[in-house]
Structure 1
Amino acid sequence: MTLNPALSDVVFKNQWRDVFDGTVPDGWEPTLKVSVVTAAFNSKTLDLTLASLAAQDYPEELLEVIVIDDGSEPAVEIGKYAPKNTRLIRVHEELGEGWGRSNALRIGIEASDGDIIYWVDSDMILFSDNVREHAKWAHFIPEAATIGHKGFVEEWDFTPEQVFEEVRSGEIRKHHDLETLHRHWSLDIYEETDDLNASGGRNYSTHMGACATVTRSVYEQTFGQRPELKLGDDTEIAYQIWQRGAVFIPVQSAQTYHLGRATVQDKGREVAHFNDVHFAQRMPIPRYRRAATNRQWEVPFVTAVVKVDVDTAEMARRCVDMLLNQTESDLQVLLVGPWSTLETGRRRVLADAAVELHLLQEWYRCEGRVTMVEDDVDDVFPSPYRLDVPVTLGLGPSALNEIMRDVYGNDLGVVNYFPPEGVEQSEVLTIRPTHAYSRALRYASETVSPIEALDAVWGVEWRSSKELGLIDLRTAEPVKKITRGDSDLAMADLREQLALARQRIENVRNRAHANRKRAEIAEARAEALGIKRRVRNKVGRVARGLRRS
């Protein structure tokens, strides 16, 4: 597909270097407003953070700071050294306004109006060009989500006045060499992924709220900060902005001091144990978090969409049943149909033209993984993949597993699968990543088709469906009902297969035992030969010595 000129500056996957490498043109000056949001709860270092923000070289009229007092005792007061455009918001838990960092940040972000949202913890000292170094990326990449570089300082005696003066003069940098301080785990990921260029966004967990930004246009497409999360909220919002098309960029030049040890240095195990449960429920990626199988999660890995009408309702039952029987069980099915048109009053039920739709509705009434919707929602956010399944197709039991091994495993964009022989070419099985779709929507227009935009941001491909075991449900034999005799035969067949499997296992064990014996004999021989060689070599050395004598 030829690239549309309007898409020449679009970031492909997370390869930000191809669009902007961080070098601004001569004479460039920022134009985007930055909203710094800082949650404080009994913070002893907030005054130092505000003093460093007051000394930034970013244009004063383009910088606002929102401090959210999350119930501190005593209450937070803004000191002498703070940016001109600083506002203080108090959260009153007793009035039902909630509590916790994520809740406070949500309130602060909603009260702000900057083009760029900048999360800054209340224990950070930002060097003078920090805000500028973060903000410049959004001027060239509209989906930029930047991560700053922090050095963990364990002892300090700074005062607000000192921080203000030394940040402004640059002297603050001389206190510590960032390279000698605690090395954060994210730096290893940057090295492994070429500064996230090769990550496809999957390393979103490096986007931590101590010093990270995102453009408001991306953030506003998410659910926002989750007030119910009390730990790990920065990782969860990072997942959301990834699914909304964010481009993650480590900005090593945006430097800070983190006043205090990293939490993972002292409580890494406890934090991980607590967060893993909450993360697994909301974030299907990475896959290792969902150790349990064959169960439902708040956010499914795959959302399958099946469209049905009066004519295809009977076929839909088999189509959806085959989806629910996949070996990859982490999915939700949206069954799109004219449910509101179904008559529920007195009628001749057997003569009802929509009887099959009624039966379909009843068939899945108690199935938690099937949701009946009137209209195709198109957008399945925050589920990371949408699978469009024609109601005429049945998927083999391992089809979804094969699809995800290819698409997820190789970080592909939209993939279409050719229909099996005899099926109309319009009936295509398609899988689409939400992160690609979200970014592509930003560029689709009268001159840029959605498929062009999708191809530009993640790629569009066609694949054979031979390995998926697809069947045409219009011509497929009906599912055979099992009778008592069939059941007995099936059980006998299973017992025979089990006996054969046991025999194969026993054969493998016998071979392993024989191999171990052979290995022991070979090892003994080798040892004996080694002894012989050592004795022979020693005798030779003695003989040579005698001859020389």
Structure 2
Amino acid sequence: MSKAYRFTRPQDLEIVDKPKLTVGIVIACRDGQEKLDLVLASLAVQSYPSRLISVYIIDDGSQRPLVLPKIKPRGTTLITYKNSQGHWGKTAATNDVAAKLKEDVLWFIDGDMVFDPDHLAHHMKWHHESEDYAVLGWKRFVQSWSYSPAQLNNALLKGEFLDLHHESWGKDLWEERVERTQDLVKPALDGYRAFVGATFSLRNSQWKRLGGYNRELITGEDTELGWRIFTSGMRTVVDRQAHSWHLGYSTVEQNKDEIHRHNDPALAQYIPQMHSIRSRHNFDWRVPTYQVLVDVRSTNLQQLLTLRTELLALPGTSAELTLLAPWSLLQDRYSPVGDQFAELREIHSWLKGSSEYKFVEITSDAQLSIDSIIDRFTPSATPYYLFIEGSFSLNLKDLVDYLLASENGLVGVANKEDRRAFAIIAPALARAISGKGWIYSNIAACFGALWMTEENFQQINQGKHNRVARFLRYLKREGKKVNSPRQLVIFLKKLISLLLRKVSPRG
């Protein structure tokens, strides 16, 4: 079992000689019998021991009911998923069937794939090595095929997988993202986009811990799952040796505009990193960009509102702010003239009707240790977790930017009055909580923790040279996402908006 630092993983991991983990292969289909027959023919010759394999075909409302073909793995079961209102589609069918499975590992595949005989074995070598992997296979698209299940089966037994197709193509943007992130060893916040549902596997226990697919999504469910896998601290592996052919074009490629119109708002509800889509409308979103704890015992309303404004400077971002203070003292008898809790009362009076703020009780003399603060966070699909003592005049957005640039799990700043602020990235928090011992120590050991003085932090975030460098990094990062005229328009709008904010007078 490997001890992971950030998202590292072993190099050149070999197929396991004597595997012991069972695997349930899940294929949710609606029609597509011809392609399904080819999928099963390729699964029938997988090199991973057949005694450890079970295959579950889910017929999700096919017009002509699916049947099991002659050539298939020995332990194959066909399950008819009864459709009803709110219970139909790949997401619901997969979740309901997978919830009952007992195998150690679940391998989810599409019903239009052909697999190299060692494909599953390459997935399983990772799951034997550690329990925190989500494994993706490598696929190429083919336009046509003429082989029957029997011919395919025979060719695979002869070791002719790569000879099946001499013309194929990959998704350039996907392959570039994998290359740029060193096969997701350094995924950054956009690495989740590499997670696609055609062939992926993870431990059954992890699938259940994550809650499976998001039931509110009909398409794009794999992308949203990939985001939660990232924020949960799991390691996503792209195994380039796990070869496969995808039979025909993907649905997204054939219907881009309609799919984007449907998926963009649905996914943006749950993936805060899609802030460019969120920025189109000033709505509330299911998952905020930031969870923020603010100790407001020594601050005032204006300081708090300034803190929020600076944090949400990037359009499309949102925050859930929890305000820590001895709120119960506001229930005591008082006079508006000479009120010793006037600052606290003003904060409460103005903000108590906003769903953006929560009020949590602490005593007037409470000493907040790092671990006691971190314990108050609720790990979720939110990417950033922040704490600040409200009288500390620090730009939290700058702190988050430096957290990303430093690649640490936690970055903190302290001033001369010993006021503190720190930011944690979600994967570091989730993995630290799942381990034994002190959460802060786990973050430092696995992802790294960096503290600095306010003076040092201000030096880092001030100066023309640093701002230019940050702007160039922004252009490079965002420019790589442009893969269509539509994406170019979005990028230019974001760039113009950013420039206008920087040159417009403040106030």
Which residue in 2 is equivalent to 1:182?
A: 169
Q: TM-score, normalised by structure 2?
A: 0.77
Report the secondary structure of 2:99's partner residue. helix
Which residue in 2 is equivalent to 1:369?
A: 356
Give ranges in structure 2 of 5+ residues lacking alignment.
Answer: 363-374, 460-502
Over 3 Å counting, the alpha-carbon distance change for 1:58 and 1:368 in structure 2 is same
Over 3 Å counting, the alpha-carbon distance change for 1:68 and 1:201 in structure 2 is farther
* Distance in 1 between residues matched to 2:358 and 2:55, nearest whole Å: 43
* Distance in 2 between residues matched to 1:201 and 1:367, nearest whole Å: 29
Over 3 Å counting, the alpha-carbon distance change for 1:371 and 1:224 in structure 2 is farther
Report the secondary structure of 1:119's partner residue. strand
Over 3 Å counting, the alpha-carbon distance change for 1:338 and 1:229 in structure 2 is farther
* Distance in 2 between residues matched to 1:101 and 1:47, nearest whole Å: 19
Deviation readout 1:332-352 (Å, 9 max, x if unpaired): 11235687x7999xx967699
For residue 251 of structure 1, the aligned residue among 234, 239, 242 is 239
* Distance in 2 between residues matched to 1:162 and 1:43, nearest whole Å: 19
Cα deviation for residue 366 of structure 1 reads: 2.1
Cα deviation for residue 433 of structure 1 reads: 0.9
Deviation readout 1:429-469 (Å, 9 max, x if unpaired): 11111111112334334xxx433321233211012334679
Which residue in 1 is equivalent to 2:412?
A: 416
Which residue in 2 is equivalent to 1:75?
A: 65
For residue 96 of structure 2, the aligned residue among 107, 111, 114 is 107
- Contact 2:300 2:344 (C-alpha < 8 Å) held by counterparts: no
Deviation readout 1:224-260 (Å, 9 max, x if unpaired): 3112212211111000111111212211111111111
* Distance in 2 between residues matched to 1:374 and 1:175, nearest whole Å: 66
Alignment of 1:522-537 (within 5 A): none
Report the secondary structure of 2:121's partner residue. helix
Letter in 2 for 1:11: A
Report the secondary structure of 1:255's partner residue. strand
Residue 398 of structure 2 corresponds to residue 402 of structure 1: yes
* Distance in 2 between residues matched to 1:78 and 1:146, nearest whole Å: 27
Residue 447 of structure 2 corresponds to residue 458 of structure 1: yes
Cα deviation for residue 359 of structure 1 reads: 6.8
Letter in 1 for 2:305: D
Structure index of larger Rg:
1
* Distance in 1 between residues matched to 2:62 and 2:345, nearest whole Å: 57
Which residue in 2 is equivalent to 1:28?
A: 17
Alignment of 1:416-455 (within 5 A): 416-418=412-414, 420-421=415-416, 423=417, 425=418, 427-445=419-437, 449-455=438-444
* Distance in 2 between residues matched to 1:348 and 1:452, nearest whole Å: 44
Cα deviation for residue 41 of structure 1 reads: 0.7
For residue 190 of structure 2, the aligned residue among 196, 202, 207 is 202
* Distance in 1 between residues matched to 2:340 and 2:379, nearest whole Å: 32
Deviation readout 1:130-184 (Å, 9 max, x if unpaired): 111111112223321221111212222333333333334433432214xx41122
- Contact 1:342 1:358 (C-alpha < 8 Å) held by counterparts: no
Which residue in 1 is equivalent to 2:381?
A: 382
Report the secondary structure of 1:401's partner residue. helix
Residue 127 of structure 2 corresponds to residue 128 of structure 1: no
Over 3 Å counting, the alpha-carbon distance change for 1:296 and 1:97 in structure 2 is closer
Which residue in 2 is equivalent to 1:86?
A: 76
- Contact 2:301 2:343 (C-alpha < 8 Å) held by counterparts: no
For residue 8 of structure 2, the aligned residue among 15, 25, 29 is 15
* Distance in 2 between residues matched to 1:187 and 1:380, nearest whole Å: 30
Which residue in 2 is equivalent to 1:52?
A: 42
* Distance in 1 between residues matched to 2:209 and 2:131, nearest whole Å: 13
Matched residue count: 440
Query: Percent identity of the aligned residues?
Result: 26
* Distance in 2 between residues matched to 1:250 and 1:62, nearest whole Å: 23
Q: TM-score, normalised by structure 1?
A: 0.71
Report the secondary structure of 1:272's partner residue. helix
Which residue in 2 is equivalent to 1:40?
A: 29
- Contact 1:10 1:456 (C-alpha < 8 Å) held by counterparts: no
Cα deviation for residue 203 of structure 1 reads: 1.4
Over 3 Å counting, the alpha-carbon distance change for 1:74 and 1:252 in structure 2 is same
- Contact 1:152 1:259 (C-alpha < 8 Å) held by counterparts: yes
For residue 303 of structure 1, the aligned residue among 264, 286, 291 is 291
- Contact 1:103 1:227 (C-alpha < 8 Å) held by counterparts: yes
Report the secondary structure of 2:424's partner residue. strand
Cα deviation for residue 273 of structure 1 reads: 3.9
Cα deviation for residue 321 of structure 1 reads: 3.1
* Distance in 2 between residues matched to 1:217 and 1:415, nearest whole Å: 31
Deviation readout 1:376-428 (Å, 9 max, x if unpaired): 642331101100123x53445xx02211221234433201111x22x2x3x42
* Distance in 2 between residues matched to 1:393 and 1:293, nearest whole Å: 32
- Contact 1:201 1:247 (C-alpha < 8 Å) held by counterparts: no
- Contact 2:321 2:358 (C-alpha < 8 Å) held by counterparts: yes
Aligned CA RMSD, in angstroms, stands at: 3.3
- Contact 2:143 2:168 (C-alpha < 8 Å) held by counterparts: no
Alignment of 1:187-266 (within 5 A): 187-200=175-188, 202-266=190-254
- Contact 2:330 2:345 (C-alpha < 8 Å) held by counterparts: no
* Distance in 1 between residues matched to 2:119 and 2:89, nearest whole Å: 26
Over 3 Å counting, the alpha-carbon distance change for 1:91 and 1:334 in structure 2 is farther
Letter in 2 for 1:90: T
- Contact 1:65 1:83 (C-alpha < 8 Å) held by counterparts: yes
- Contact 2:28 2:57 (C-alpha < 8 Å) held by counterparts: yes
Letter in 2 for 1:370: Y
Over 3 Å counting, the alpha-carbon distance change for 1:383 and 1:364 in structure 2 is same
